[in-house]
Amino acid sequence: MEPKKLCLALYTGSVDKLTAAGIILSGAAANDMQVDIYVLLQAARAFRKDIGDDANKLNMAENPDLKKEFLESLKNLNVKTWVEFFREAKAITNVKIHVCGLAGKVWGGEKLDDFIDLADDICGIGAYIQSAEEADINLFI
């Protein structure tokens, strides 16, 4: 039986939503799903090498005043960073991370080397549309 497919359009560049995406991705990996992640607009900024896992360089989408409390709570609970969730999922199952070419350019990333090593390629929005059509589950975060 072929594994189920998850397509995740990751629009956000905020640490709270990236963490949520990482937790969802962890669940998909535990269920041996095939996952395609499309890094769009603000998320492309978070995937830049100079930002990556530095939560201090990311905003908080919901209740920005709670960012410090949120990060301290994650640390106290020994919750992985969003990058660690993504890296672990890639080690467990078939996860491909595609950076939208336009989104990358908006944030100064023109080549794959401009992004953290989790990114597999740079593509156009048509690749996301096709993947979303073929997926069993399509999420937009």
pLDDT at site 53: 82
> Is-contact 41 70, C-beta < 8 A?
no
Instruction: Flag residues of the chain having pLDDT under 70.
Output: none
- In whole angstroms, what is the distance from residue 21 CA to residue 24 CA? 5
Reported pTM: 0.94
Q: What is the pLDDT, as a whole number, of residue 112?
A: 97
pLDDT at residue 102 in the model: 97
Instruction: Please state, in angstroms and rounded to a whole number, the distance separating the CA atoms of residues 2 and 76.
Output: 39
Which domains does the chain possess? 5-140 (3.40.1260.10)
- The pLDDT assigned to 100 comes to 98
pLDDT of residue 44: 98
Q: Among positive and negative, which fits the CA dihedral 43, 53, 31, 17?
A: negative
For residue 93, CA distances in Å to 70, 74, 89, 131 come to: 28, 25, 6, 17
